[in-house]
């Protein structure tokens, strides 16, 4: 397990340079199903045409790494269709808010096979990013550039716990009259495909007052789906949010999100294993955990995580366990937080679940902030009417770099956050 280097992190001071030129305006060529935009110098590469995509993707479509694919508004992989994205492919979302926000949406019954590699990750970014074919990063955007497009949304038929015990619901970020936004069902083993080595950058476009798209949204995604080595950088809202479902996810990294890094809702009952969170200047929680909204139950497992705080601004908390949270959190290493940061039991319901053994904690190791002498003081019960005992008893104070738990960060050495952000994995 390697120690993370915090120099570039805590200061959040990376600066990139670059500019856009008016003479980069594209020539637009219409085709029958897409609009192909051919730049003389697209994103810096003469041999890299941009293919603009809008609407539904036909079954059997393959996106290749010798093109850049531009998402114009919502691009949907409908039920019965499969989209394959080859390693090293770059997808850029166009700017827009509300109904014009761009996103790639895998509807229930659709399949996304997007399998990058450590050497050739698949990159989702903004049209404002000057990255071009064969590159892993542009030069003009950094971790403070957020909300430049939407995000990646994957929806499935796995169980979720909704208010009123309905079976399906509309995912946040998609208008109610768009049926491709439905998620939830009864098939715990449902598959939405496979997603490996994917970097999602600069997303979170506003779709309504106080409502932005997450970097990666997983709604009712089933256990048959493979989710491994996913990075989200500089998203306005949450980094990765699990709305119910049963999928497992491994090797996750979220850096400089605007809200919560890893968010769990609606009785998500999969396993999240090996995750790194690096809070930015405006980030909220590393973990925000909610439970079932209806009578359907489900317990998550979140294990082997390294979470790094923010000491530059007043923002940034370890974790908030809310509403009816149920599950298990273990092997967490935390450092770089302020003395005001805490791990919360937010209300009576979650405190009751803790007392009843429905919400449990394994080992946490925390490098104590200056001014904090008792590690258990970081664990705070904010319930109004329910007392708890032993909250924080599984946590120990450690010297930074001397941890025995946390993420195996070397698994994420391929990420933009490590290579460009200097994390030292």
Instruction: Identify the pLDDT of residue 25.
Output: 36
Q: What is the pLDDT of residues 199-247, one digit of tens each?
A: 999 999 987 666 789 999 999 999 999 999 999 999 999 999 999 999 9
**Domain extents in the chain:** 7-322
CA distance linking residue 273 with residue 109, whole number of Å: 26
List, for residues 354-374, the tens digit of each pLDDT value: 999 999 999 999 999 999 999
Burial of 51 (0-12, 13-18, 19+ CB in 10 A): middle
Largest Cα–Cα separation, the chain? 67
Determine the Cα–Cα distance for residues 178 and 180; give it in Å rounded to an integer. 5
Count of Cβ atoms closer than 10 Å to residue 295 Cβ? 9
Low-confidence ranges of the chain (pLDDT < 50): 1-44
3-state secondary structure of 154: strand
Q: How far apart are CA 316 and CA 279, in angstroms?
A: 7
pLDDT of residue 311: 87
Q: CB of 277 within 8 A of CB of 319? A: no
Strands (E), 4-140: 27-30, 35-38, 50-56, 61-63, 68-77, 82-85, 90-93, 103-106, 111-115, 122-126
Q: What is the pLDDT of residue 45?
A: 54
Closest Cα partner for 1 from 420, 411, 419?
411
pLDDT at 319: 98
pLDDT at position 46, please? 56
CA distance 155 to 168: 11
In angstroms, how far is CA 10 from the centroid of its own chain?
Answer: 20
Whole-angstrom distance, CA of residue 246 vs CA of residue 298: 9
Output the pLDDT for position 210.
63
- pLDDT score recorded for residue 364: 98
Cα 329 to the center of its chain, rounded Å: 18
Q: SS3 for 350?
A: helix
The residues that bridge with 200 in the sheet, in sequence order, are 124, 232
pLDDT confidence of residue 211: 74
Query: Which residue reads 């391929």 in tokens?
Result: 414
β-pair type (35-38, 50-56): antiparallel
Q: Report the chain's mean pLDDT, rounded to a whole number.
A: 90
Token reading at 47: 């041999």
pLDDT of residue 55: 96
Return all residues near 210 (Cβ < 8 A) that are at least 6 apart: none
């Amino acid at each position: 397990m390697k120690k993370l280097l915090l120099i570039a992190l805590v200061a959040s001071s990376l600066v990139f340079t670059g500019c856009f030129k008016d003479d980069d305006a594209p020539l637009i060529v219409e085709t029958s199903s897409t609009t192909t935009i051919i730049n003389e110098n697209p994103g810096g590469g003469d041999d890299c045409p941009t293919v603009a995509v809008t609407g539904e993707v036909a079954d059997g479509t393959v996106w290749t790494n010798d093109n850049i694919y531009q998402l114009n508004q919502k691009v949907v992989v409908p039920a019965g269709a499969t989209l394959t994205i080859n390693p090293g492919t770059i997808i850029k979302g166009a700017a827009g808010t509300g109904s014009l926000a761009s996103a790639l949406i895998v509807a229930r019954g659709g399949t996304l096979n997007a399998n990058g590699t450590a050497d050739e990750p698949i990159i989702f970014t903004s049209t404002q990013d000057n990255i071009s074919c064969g590159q892993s990063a542009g030069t003009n955007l950094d971790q403070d550039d957020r909300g430049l497009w939407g995000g990646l949304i994957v929806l499935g038929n796995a169980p979720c716990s909704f208010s009123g015990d309905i079976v399906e619901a509309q995912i946040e970020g998609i208008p109610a009259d768009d049926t491709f936004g439905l998620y939830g069902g009864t098939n715990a083993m449902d598959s939405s495909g496979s997603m490996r080595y994917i970097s999602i950058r600069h997303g979170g476009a506003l779709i309504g007052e106080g409502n932005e798209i997450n970097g990666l949204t997983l709604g009712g995604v089933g256990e048959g789906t493979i989710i491994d080595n996913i990075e989200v950088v500089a998203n306005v809202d949450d980094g990765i949010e699990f709305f119910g479902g049963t999928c497992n996810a491994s090797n996750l990294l979220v850096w400089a999100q605007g809200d919560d890094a890893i968010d769990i809702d609606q009785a998500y009952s999969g396993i999240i294993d090996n995750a790194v969170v690096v809070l930015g200047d405006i980030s909220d929680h590393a973990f925000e955990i909610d439970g079932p909204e209806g009578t359907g139950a489900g317990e998550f497992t979140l294990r082997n995580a390294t979470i790094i705080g923010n000491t530059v601004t007043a923002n940034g908390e370890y974790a908030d366990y809310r509403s009816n949270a149920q599950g298990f959190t273990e092997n967490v290493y935390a450092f770089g937080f302020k003395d005001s940061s805490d791990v919360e039991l937010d209300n009576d319901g979650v405190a009751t679940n803790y007392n009843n053994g429905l919400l449990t904690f394994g080992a946490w190791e925390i490098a104590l902030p200056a001014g904090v002498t008792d590690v258990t003081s970081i664990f705070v019960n904010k319930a109004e009417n329910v007392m708890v005992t032993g909250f924080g008893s599984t946590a120990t104070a450690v010297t930074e770099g001397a941890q025995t738990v946390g993420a195996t960060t070397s698994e994420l050495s391929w990420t933009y956050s490590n290579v460009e952000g200097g994390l030292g994995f």
